[in-house]
Every structure is written in C-alpha cells, then in structure tokens.
C-alpha cells in the first residue's frame, strides 16, 4: 500500500522508520486505510470495464466492407476504419473509357491507401497525386515520378490493419511492362482484383472468393477455356459506358457507376 503517511512523531522524539510509522498510522486510522483500499478497488474495476468496452468496440474481424465502383477499374473500399482506393484516380475519359464527376478527386478521403494494377492512364493519373501527400503502391511506372516517402513498400501494406492483408500476382496486360492483380483478405472476406489481366490463368487458381472484379475479356477467356471462377460473385468492370453487356448469369453483376456493394 503506497499511501502518504504523515510524520506522527512528536518533536524531540526519535523518528520512526516509514515502515513503523505506516503500522502506527494504520492502527490509529483504520477507517482511512480501508477507504483508500476501497477507492483503489473501485478505480481498478472502472478501468477494467472501460477496457472491455473499448475492446468490444475496436474494429473486429466481422466488420462489413463497403465497396463503391468509381468507374473503369476504380474502386473505393472501406470497413469504416481502413480506406483503400484501387486504380483511382485515373484520367477521366482516357482511351474512351468512363469519365467521372470532377469533384470526385477533391473528395478523396484523407489517409487512404492507394493501390494500382498498372500505370495506364485509364487506371492511374499522376496529376491526381500532385496536390496531396497520399501514399501509393503500384508497379513501374506508377510510382516512378514520386518521391520515396510517397511510395509504399509492398510489405507496408500488410502492416496497415490487423484484419487486412494483400497478395500481389504478376499478370499480363498488353503494352504494360508490369501488371499486378491482387488478392485482398479483409475481415474474413476474400476479394480478387484482376485489373486488366488478359487471361484467366491466375484467377483460376483462386478459391473461396467472396467477390472477384474482372473485365469482360477475362470472363470471355475463362468461358472459352471452360474455367469456372471460384467466387460467390463477379463484378464485371472496365466496361465502356456506351457498351451494353449481356449478363452471363446471376453470379455476374455489371455495375452502374457509383454503385455500392456491401460484403457482410
Ligand atoms: Zn485499362
């Protein structure tokens, strides 16, 4: 017990050691001592309950993930805690693909993670990063023009959240020296991002996916080769806004721009 014990010796008396003084004090003022102990116990209990409450409110493994389709392969995903952009900002309308509302870049969330599949303008716009301090990850030439402190090393992405991990796969896209597809495992959900991958080789090795994002040419390739994609749902993205696409089954969703999906 570490309480302040007043010096209860009379002047002139030989001073007693702290240990002895504590004993004397406890005998003289037993009520005071028990009150102190009780107070400590109460504080301990309050702190413990607070800790339990905070622990229960901390982001758990089963938080829902909300995904917004921004256009082309552009996505915004969040579980209310971590914020992730994929292939956004891109150059609006590049190569005849989707435009997006001009305010979208200005309303980008602070402290987000930016991941790119490759550096083509319909996926990545360097100018979109000029006015910000946001950090990004992507294969050359995505990060080529940025200073080192604005680039993530790949392993750093996996330190971002307790229930968040990402794996990259080197996949093929014409006229792109390097192209990555990604598997994101987040709050017990498995989300696969194809980007502009042209063959179903890599996606065919995935199993137990909750959601797969794939362009129509990849789905063509899969169906031509009789490959079944092991996923609960496919979102067919990177469709030019003018093109109409047949829904190839209930599993395939062709999203409208800014449509939101929730993975629970
Ligand atoms: Zn593209």
pLDDT digit string, tens, across residues 56-94: 555 556 799 999 999 999 999 999 999 999 999 999 999
> Among the listed ranges 9-13, 21-25, 90-94, 211-215, which one has the minimum average pLDDT value?
9-13
Q: Does residue 191 contact residue 184 with C-beta atoms inside 8 Å?
A: yes
- The more confidently predicted of residues 70 and 244 is 70
pLDDT at 6: 46
CA of 173 to the centre of ligand 1 (A): 9
Q: Residue 264 and residue 233: Cα distance in Å, rounded?
A: 13
CA of 88 to the centre of ligand 1 (A): 12
Q: Residue 165 and residue 11: Cα distance in Å, rounded?
A: 70
Q: Does residue 182 contact residue 166 with C-beta atoms inside 8 Å?
A: yes
The two tokens of residue 209 are 């996916």
The pTM score is 0.75
CA of 15 to the centre of ligand 1 (A): 86
Scored b (16 or more CB within 10 A) or e, 7-45 reads eeeeeeeeeeeeeebbeebeeeeeeebeeeeeeeeeeee
CA of 127 to the centre of ligand 1 (A): 18
- The more confidently predicted of residues 43 and 6 is 43
CA of 149 to the centre of ligand 1 (A): 27
CA of 87 to the centre of ligand 1 (A): 9
Task: For 37-53, write each residue's pLDDT tens digit.
Answer: 677 777 777 676 666 55
Backbone angles phi, psi at 51, to 5 degrees: -60, -45
The two tokens of residue 130 are 């000029």
CA of 7 to the centre of ligand 1 (A): 81
The two tokens of residue 110 are 């602070």
CA of 120 to the centre of ligand 1 (A): 7
As a whole number, the mean pLDDT across the chain is: 83
Which alpha helices (H) appear in 61-183, and where do they start and end? 103-106, 154-157
CA of 123 to the centre of ligand 1 (A): 6
User: What DSSP letter does each residue of 52-86 carry, written as one string?
Assistant: HHHHHHS--TT--EEEEEEETTEEEEESSS-EEEE
Task: For 163-185, write each residue's pLDDT tens digit.
Answer: 999 999 999 988 778 999 999 99
Q: Residue 75 and residue 67: Cα distance in Å, rounded?
A: 7
CA of 73 to the centre of ligand 1 (A): 7
pLDDT at 34: 62
């Amino acid at each position: 017990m570490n309480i302040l014990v007043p010096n209860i010796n009379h002047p002139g008396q030989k001073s007693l050691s702290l240990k002895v003084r504590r004993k004397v004090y406890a005998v003289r003022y037993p009520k005071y001592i028990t009150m102190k102990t009780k107070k400590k116990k109460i504080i301990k209990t309050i702190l413990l309950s607070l800790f339990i409450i905070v622990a229960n409110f901390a982001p758990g493994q089963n938080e829902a993930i909300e995904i917004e389709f921004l256009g082309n392969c552009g996505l915004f995903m969040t579980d209310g805690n971590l914020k992730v952009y994929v292939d956004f900002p891109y150059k609006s309308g590049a190569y005849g693909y989707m435009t997006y509302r001009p305010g979208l870049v200005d309303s980008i969330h602070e402290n987000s993670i930016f991941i790119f599949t490759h550096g083509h303008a319909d996926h990545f716009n360097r100018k979109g990063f000029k006015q910000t301090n946001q950090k990004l990850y992507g294969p050359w030439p995505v990060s080529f023009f940025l200073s080192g402190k604005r680039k993530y090393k790949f392993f750093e992405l996996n330190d971002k959240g307790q229930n968040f991990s990402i794996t990259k796969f080197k996949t093929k896209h014409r006229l792109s020296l390097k192209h990555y597809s990604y598997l994101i495992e987040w709050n017990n959900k498995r989300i696969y991002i194809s980007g502009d991958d042209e063959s179903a080789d890599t996606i065919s090795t995935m199993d137990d996916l909750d959601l797969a994002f794939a362009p129509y040419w990849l789905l063509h390739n899969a169906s031509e080769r009789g490959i079944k994609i092991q996923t609960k749902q496919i979102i067919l993205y990177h469709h030019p806004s003018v093109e109409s696409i047949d829904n190839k089954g209930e599993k395939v969703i062709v999203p409208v721009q800014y449509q939101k999906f929730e993975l629970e």
